[in-house]
Amino acid sequence: MDVSIEYYGGYVSEFKGSLVDFFVVLVFLLGIAAIILILYHLYLLKQCRQKEYWLPIVDDGGNVIGRVARSVSYETPGKYQHPLIRILISKDRSIYLAPRPFDFCPEYGLYDHPIEYLMEFGKSIEESISELQKKHFPNSPQPRFLLKYKHENKFGSWQVLLYILRIEDEEDLMGFDKSKGKFWTIPQLQENFGKSCFSSCLEGELDFIRTINDIN
């Protein structure tokens, strides 16, 4: 019996020693993992700062009065006013709309103009329009300016610069997914107004868009 107790006592002691060793190794590995995560987080922050997108701050007259990082502006929506270029695409008295993509978070999935550009600090309106033309409609003439207005929502404060691009063929458009977009007539827009189908910007433009189509 004494031998058995001594035997099992030694086994238990060895087992306890193994558990201690296991936990020591586990804590060591967790510490290394935590250090790696911290270093990776610092690396990501450095990359974000290097690639930070600076937005111009404008007054109600459209004058640039400063700049702010996009991440900072998104954290304090409505504190700063930024210029936003929107391009209305028109063909045969209809306008082309597509669901808002996820990469531009506000009102994701609602129908809107497919070309919208949050201007970058240091770039003029002309430069921004030229870049949009090269990317989305290189074979078409430059869009024509229509309207400037102020728009506020829970995502921020915007000075919207609305342009119109008249096209002859949908194939002239590129740089975005056209499989979900379609042309809408004014009656179709009016029928779906206020039914959570369109972005708040687009609904605010509807009366003006109808006037344009009445003129054309």
pLDDT above 90 covers a percentage of the chain that reads: 47
Give the pLDDT confidence of 125-137 residue by residue, as tens digits.
999 999 999 999 9
- Write down the pLDDT at residue 89: 94
Cα separation of the two ends of the chain: 107
Domain ranges of the chain: 1-51, 54-215
DSSP labels, 175-197:
SS--SS-EEE-HHHHHHTTTSS-
Taking CA atoms, 135 is separated from 57, 128, 174, 180, in Å, by: 25, 11, 7, 19
pTM here? 0.72
Give which of 38, 70, 54 is closest to 156, Cα–Cα.
Answer: 70
65: Cα separation from own chain's centroid: 24
Q: 54-215, what's its fold?
A: Nucleoside Triphosphate Pyrophosphohydrolase (3.90.79)
**166 vs 22 pLDDT, higher one:** 166
Q: What is the pLDDT of residues 63-119, one digit of tens each?
A: 999 999 988 988 888 899 999 999 999 998 899 999 987 655 578 889 999 999 999
